[in-house]
Chains A and B, each alone.
Chain A
Amino acid sequence: MQSAPEKSDLNAAGFRAAILDPVREKPATVEGPRGKQAVKRFNVYRNNVTVSLINALADIFPAVMRITGETLFRDMAREFVRAHPPVSPLLFLYGHDFPAFIEHFEHARRMPYLADVARVERAWLTAYHAADLEPLDPQALAKIAPEDLEGAMFKPHPATGLIRSPYAAFDIFDANRNRETIGRIDVTRPQDVLVTRPGMDVTVTGLPQGHGAFFASLIAGDCLGDAAEAGARASSAFDINEAIGGMFATGAFLSVTTEQT
């Protein structure tokens, strides 16, 4: 955050530093009109920047805020905003670092699942703004000769995100975004969550056992045979028919290639 002092009449670096640090003095050239004080006046800018960015995080992570309550969320977001201000003017790109920040945030330690819920919410917004591309047509796979299917590889759709959680990230996300009343949730049940956007609507899917390993392998660029192996290794309940059905149903992939093509 420390920049060399600049020569310009607008000391933007000094202004920025004072905006993001409420303990700092206001910039020396900033004043009130006709000899008036400018403490409260400069604080308007501090407030606008801080509050608008906290509000942006609240808009991206509504389930996280419902879990923590607004007081803790805003305290946590305020610290995050100061440590990680946006580096793009596109606010819908903000907050990719927020889940990792939550993971190490002292006051959220009793909610160890919180970071993964935040990852699902961040993936939701990425999918919401992703390019309008048709997902892979199942017929493209039907055209591949059976002996080439094992080696088939898939390009993920730009909307696709996978969160593999040791906690019940799907149930917690679903309950806190979609349900008025939340029953008791066993958070210790591991869940893998797939975020896709097959049309205009973002779809968040809680994956059956073994499918997280299967999708992770495909997204990493492994071939279909290896991905199926990974799924079967991860769970004895893994069903390849269901898994390939899931690839099409979720629209997680854009295109397929084989070693021959």
Chain B
Amino acid sequence: MTPTSLNHGASAARPPAAGTFRFAAHTARIPALAGVGFKHTHLDAILADPDPVGFVEVHAENYMGDGGFPHRALERVRQDFPLSLHGVCMSIGGPQPLSEDHLARFKALVDRYEPALVSEHLAWSTHDEVFMNDLLPLPYTEETLNHVCSHIDRMQDVIGRQMLLENPSTYVVFENSTLNETDFIREIVRRTGCGLLLDVNNVFVSATNHGFSPMSYLMDYPMEHVGEIHLAGHAVQEDDEGEPLLIDSHDAPVADSVWDLYSIVIRQSGPIPTLVEWDSDLPDWPILRAEAAAADRILDEAAHSFLMGKSHAVGA
């Protein structure tokens, strides 16, 4: 799906250069259905399910070994399903240049598995040689914006196509930030032509943790560039003041408040491929399948109202 085809709302926020991507949208279109994160324990159940999910997503790094069972499993699901390749460790948000070795490995996966969607994070994880295995935050300044844009340029050059950038869930802010997150992201899209992966749970987690309204964030967010949505469960802890601090834990069902936000997004933007992430305390397949089915119902409703009266939904 091309990001321009999602341009149904938030037209006022449309940046000047929008729609002029350096990379043609990939020909292997992905339907605007719900997908799931692929785990090997679910392989047989996914293949046997009479009501197949719309697509599967994998973390790219888990398939960067030379061979063996992981590639065998991915080849098998790829036969039956469109694929989203989700990078976790590119460290786009750090100051140092991207690892050329890692870029080459990533490109090899793109070439081999021909994913319909390719994404990475607005975060960093590697400094010098040390890899910290978490999506770490960055201050939003002109300098970090330049770093991020040059890294996305490099990644898109290497893989030869557009990537989607995911908004982070964060627990701290930086005193030296000069831009807010939505302005930062909008400028990245304008400069690099990348698309966006909107993680609605991350919006809710960050909004709660930092005391802003998730709705105002979404109002400011360049929705017309979103090519994929993520949903996931979170955990609740407490900050230093005893107020809720949400952890983006991916170990539980999607929270009701996140479903509500997601419905609002989809009603506004129209159907967008939506992934349910569940990475820890994995449930049995039927439970994960039911989460995806819940997203499909919301996508169906939106598709229906679009067909019934598109012009009313645009509000332009």
Quick check: is A139 within 8 A (CB to CB) of the other chain? no
Q: Are A32 and B173 also in contact (CB < 8 A) when A10-B95, A37-B240, A48-B134 are?
A: yes
> Cβ of B111 < 8 Å from any Cβ of A?
no
Determine whether the beta carbon of A33 is less than 8 Å from that of B144.
no
Contact partners of A13 in chain B: CB under 8 A: 127-128
Contact (A29, B175) CB under 8 Å given A10-B95, A13-B127, A52-B133: yes
Of B127, B141, B172, B241, chain A has the most CB atoms within 10 Å of the CB of: B172
Task: State whether the Cβ of A92 lies closer than 8 Å to any Cβ in chain B.
Answer: yes
A10–B138 contact, CB under 8 A? yes
Q: In the complex the two chains form, is A128's CB within 8 Å of B69's CB?
A: yes
The answer for the CA separation of A128 and B144 in the assembled complex, in Å, is 39
Among B68, B88, B138, B144, the residue within 8 A (CB) of A129 is: B68
Residues in B with CB closer than 8 Å to A91 are 61, 133
Please give, as numbers and ranges, the residues of chain A lying within 8 Å of B91 by CB-CB distance: 89
B66 at the interface (CB under 8 A from A): yes
Chain B residues contacting A130 (CB-CB under 8 Å) are 65-68
Give the residues in chain A near B137, CB-CB below 8 Å.
45
- Contact yes or no, A16 B127, CB < 8 A: yes
B124 touches A9 (CB 8 A): no
Taking the closest CB of chain A, its distance from the CB of B289, in whole angstroms, is: 25
Is the beta-carbon distance between B239 and A36 smaller than 8 angstroms?
yes
Please tell me if the beta carbons of A89 and B61 are within 8 angstroms of each other in the complex: yes
Contact of B239 among A41, A133, A197 (CB under 8 A): A41
A residues within 8 A CB of B136? Answer: 15, 19, 45
Check: B131 CB closer than 8 A to any chain A CB. Answer: yes
Residues of B within 8 A of A48 (CB): 133-134
B66 with A10: CB separation less than 8 A: no
**In the complex, A105 Cα to B138 Cα: how many Å?**
36
Q: Pull 23 A–B residue pairs with CB atoms less than 8 Å apart, ordered by A.
A: A10-B95, A10-B138, A10-B139, A12-B124, A15-B136, A19-B136, A26-B172, A29-B139, A29-B174, A31-B172, A36-B240, A36-B241, A37-B241, A39-B240, A40-B240, A41-B172, A41-B209, A41-B239, A52-B133, A52-B134, A130-B65, A158-B66, A200-B69
